[in-house]
Structure 1
Amino acid sequence: MKFIKRINIFNTIESTKMMIFLIIFVFLVLIFLGRMIYVSYTYYRDTMVIQQEQHLLTIAKSTARNLELFVVGKADNLKIIAGNPKFQKRLNVFVKDGIAQPDISSIKAFYEVQKKEIQSVALYDDKGKLIYHCSGGASVKISEQLYNSVDSGNDDVNYVLKTQQSYIGSVYQGIRGDFVFNILQPVFYKERFIGILVATINLNTLYNHLVKPVKVGKKGYVMVKDKKGIILMHPVKEQIGTHVIIKRKEKYPGLNFTELKNLIKRQLTGKEGTAVYHSYWWPDSKLVMVKKLTGFAPAHIGDDFWIVAAPMSYEEIADPIKENLLSTLLIAGGFIIIFSSCIFLIIKIQKNKEALEIKTKYLKELNEKAEELRKSEAQLQHSQKIQTIGTLTGGIAHEFNNLLTPILGYAELMLKDLSQENYWYEDINEIYEAAKKSKELIKQILIFSHRDNNKHYKPVKINELIKETLKLMKSILPSNIDIIENFEDCGYILANPTQINQVIFNLCTNAYDAMKKQGGLLEISMHLIDKDDENILNNEDFSSKKYVKISVKDTGCGMKEKIMHQIFDPFFTTKAVGEGTGLGLSVVHGIVASHNGKIFVESKIGKGSVFNVYFPQMEGQYVDLQNNNNIVLKGDETILLIDDDPSIVNMMKKRLEKLGYKIIAQTNSLKALKIFKKNPPRFQLIITDQTMHHLNGIGVAEKAKAIYPEIKVILMTGFVNEPVKDYINSPLIDDYIIKPVLLNELSQKIRRVLMVNQQND
């Protein structure tokens, strides 16, 4: 009972710790996701506003162009009439002698065709006297009595009498109260000025024909004002003819016109543009300040210009933006729930495993047979947990390491900037230590679930590694077993040193089990071979040219052929119950496969067995900088840093700059390559993330090496998959590092790569 109580107390304490850790972790994830959502929201909002502003500008420019084309078209029509020889001759006779009427048939025909768009057409003689007027369907000869009742636009006529040039007049209010403007065309006969043709355009007609049909959102509209700020066209008739600021301010003295004044000031310069501002919807009965978008462009009418503006409500684009934000929040919330559940499940599985081991130990003390039953159940549960962890960790390991990178990096930066007496030093150190533990936890889970995938491989001097392992074996093997070593210098392999130790240790232990009763000879040999020299390699899918062959040979009892086919299966063992788990050679096989290697066994009953392991050799020479893993090395080279996560880029930039490096950081891989292409020798090293938008890290390395083969490349990744492992042995990648990155690891990687470069130079 006391033992069970101790178990319950232990479980309670561990559960509390795990819950606190989970809460802290979820809180940090929430902060990170909140920032990402805010950045995404602001980017989407700004993009929508810019796109809508450009759309409004297009509407304003299109309407302005239509107005210009309309006026130019009518002016061209008048030129055609004025250039008619028959019309010129008859008008000349009338002006000169007064004995014949001018030919007005072409004027009447022009008006009949254009009367929906032109208010009137008039003809003046060379003295400025109105001699013919066509308006409202009536064509009349002008008498002295009618002269003063016709809207003649004398200022425009006098201007043409003086200049004898085509002219488009300013807008003025006609005798009917409508706002109009004139298009005037001088008439010549044999280069002698004889009269003026005048077409009067009603702005209300022009508005209904060209401007009013243009739709701008649900509540917006298109309006036109002249270069003095007088409104010429507007959906509210009362606004027409008033100054856009002065008259409105007189009518509504309590309204705020500050932003509208600034906008009108920009518009009156005659340049096109867009704006976001606060104003009022003048057609509304109750005026309330609202936020608007507008695009505006000048319409050049004669020597003057009008301003065409297309305002619309900001709320019409704000609603889709809010809907997008809500969708993003729902997706993020779902991700947090799923991610937290996965983490909680992993922690719970780990806690259950520890509790199960304690209970198994207790039951073993009570009854050996009961312990055997528990052991079988534990093996089954172990297999199920490996499968569960493998499924879960494969999907979340990469994202988890990306999230840990800024947490670990910024905590490390803050620790270096703070003294140990600082109030926050201990708290930040706790965050840093927790992040390191999380990093190691992911490593162990991946290894345990057979999803390590080269997650922490590095160039390893294989001879030294094997010799260190054999030192341990010599100290534990009995004296009746002799060890013979037969090594040649095999250079480097890309490996996890701990796992290689585990392979050699398990193979030697297996040989010991075969010889422990009678003793014997254990021979470990290592040779460098060409792929073509080994027939067995030609029958397998081997990609490297040279391989390191490690042989572990014993003079034990040997194995039957049937057993040889089963020895790498999980939980297969020939030992008595309680003496082995059947996992040793299964683990060896998994480790060798994860190193792109192969393992083969040969055995004869009564003669012994030999295990041959093949690992691909790495090309080139490597400088060993790992005598002290805690050393942080500095430098002064220029490094191009690429990662599409801004938080990771900012954090790593700060860390590397503190080490003395000159950092050019980019979150867009294509832009980074453009910078590199401008001056490749400027950079000594590229540090790039593998998984990025536009172009991944392998792609960046390939293009950079094509531009400048001397450049060195370090690849960063959340996990190393098979394609990346293949590239490690190629000239594209000089080294790689796994997120989250510790400063000492990163600094040593950089110096190792750059020192190799200097040695080659």
Structure 2
Amino acid sequence: MENKVKQLGKMDADQKLVLVAGLVSILSIAFIFMGTRIWEEYKKGVIGNQKSQMLLTAECLADNLEGVVGEYTRDLHSLWAYSKDKSWEEQIRLWNSYREGHGPVIHDVILQGKEGEWGRGYPQEKIKLADSDSVIDDKTKLIPASIGEDGGYVVLRYEPVPGESVSLVLDSQIYYEQVFSGIQVGTNGYVVIKDKSGTILMHPGQNQYGIDVIEGRHEMYPNKDLTSLKAMIDHQLEGRTGVEEYNSYWWTKEGAPAVRKLSAYTPANIGEDFLVVSVVIDYDDIYIPVETGFFRIILVFICAFITALSMAVYMFRLFLQKKEDKEQIAYLTELNRILEEMHQSEETIAHQQRLQIMGTMTGGIAHEFNNLLTPIMGYADFLMMELPEDSDGFDSAREIYGAAEKAKEIIQQISSLSRKNIETAFKTLDASRVLRRAVKMVQSVCPANIRLTGEMKLDGVFIMGNETQLNQVILNIGVNAIHAIGREEGGQIRVSARVLRREELEPEVPLGKKESWSRFVQINIEDNGCGMSPDVLKQMFDPFFTTKKGGKGTGLGLALTEQIVTSHRGFVCADSQAGKGTVFHLYFPAVKKDEQETAANAALYHQNDPENRKKKGENTGMSILLVDDNPKVLRLLEKSFARLGVTADAVMSFEEAREKLKNGHYDALAAEQFIKGTSAVNFCMSIQALSPGLILLVMADQVDQELAEARQRGIIHGYVSKPVSDAAILRAVTEAAKGRIITES
């Protein structure tokens, strides 16, 4: 470095100017590169934020539309029930009054009954109904319609009995003007409502009402390319929620000019079917302001950069006039400062990258450590089998095995930091133990005036679920019961539980739930509080609905309760009468597990006596196919099974495993949970027809909901938590062969 500095000091002024020019070029290239990267990140962030806001707008509008359709549907049912036994004239007066009170959105009410038909000044045959309809329930439909040449209407028809019906004729254009026209979405954006078949129900363009969003526009504009639009519409009609960019046209402008659009869409569920709510905006409305603002910032930065650079060049030319030794000192000082700044910046960036990697790669770290622990524990187990128990080598091997087990616990704790794993980790739980713990939590918040009792008949009964979420369900309902009782003396909460067969379930349990499981755990939580009216009972699971005053309730407790119960493949309902109390009924599918025998088998397979281990493997005639992308794990398992007299073939991909199964016979298959992004559950599903008698096991880093459901539905026979061992796999195979549900944790 010292020699280079001396050589630099001997350069003349022209050579130094050339060096400055080279440095400027390098800095300029770096600036352009960094500016491009910053622009991409800035554009991605701002546009992503705009997409999120558009999707939130679409979801809010969908909620509003669901509420409006639900309100009109309830009005139809209620007024029909009220008026059906009245005279024809009274019915007409009632519906006419309803129409006048809800105008102008309700354009007309058409009443068809035993006495005839009544409308508002035109015969019903002038109302032309579209071929498509949206089913709200078995007696109520939402149908696009036109009156004469005007297509901006929707008919909500309720037919309680054949030959008698009442229909609300809704003016879609007026509703659109009242609700959606005031929503400003960019310079040319708008809101579109379609039914599940693609018929446009609401649109800012008058000529768009009642046409099919694709076929209708093909007829109106035969030369337009609708390929991009159709791909996006297909996603909408599947009931998806999302934001997409696509090529389309401004249908509300003359000639329908081409444009790049952005659409945020979501379904509005109105019963058995749904409507599509789509918020559409010109892509340039987002992109151009972002581009303009960013390049203004870049322009200011370039000016500052050029100014600073000019000043630096000028100062450098002044430095040339100084003595050679001072120039060298100044150069070395500046170089040292730049190197320090670069070093500090690199350390900061590297630290941030390490934090990001640790945050996003937690699952991968756990997977790799499990693969490392498998041979450590396996070979330590081999050493204990081969060495005398009173030898120093045996003690050393046992210490290695114990340390590896502690490492396994640490890896499980690291995995628990993943939010996804926390939310989806399901285990086989002792129903009695979980319920008793939850009741204790409720007891801890009960005031002195409330007596909590319980009767639980759940010995030996298990459910598949997440204990934290189940505790939250019981606590939510218990707290609601405490609030319902208040401070009155003699308050009681009773919790009871039992097991029911499928045929013993109440009629309120959906048919699909009954057919999926043979046994259910029923949990009843009963209180003698204020109870609920029928109207409140219907809305109790709606988010943000609450009867508590003064801001004391959020209305989310029971909504979250229903969501958790549904995620556990269960069902929740309630019986209540105002002033007499409430009973909540919870149903969870019951699973089988012979806990004592599983524990006995675990002790048998895990003991370290080599003679017993060999004895268990002798003359089994068993053959196992192992699938894992880690060769060390495969070598250990092959060696372990060979010592036990079990034939084990190992492959490193699902394709190789499929070929093995085609050409040979195996009693069992144990596969890594994910190999190159492919799920072992999907692979097991694909080979069931190929090898119908094969016992299918999954070696899992983390038991998630997909894995638990696959086992419950018979797609796989069990799973073994990693790090795996020969004993764990053999125990799982043995239990599966006996027809039991396997859980290895």
TM-score (structure 1 length as normaliser): 0.41
TM-score by length of 2: 0.42
**Larger relative contact order, structure 1 or 2 (CA cutoff 8 Å, min sep 6):** 1
Structure of greater Rg: 1
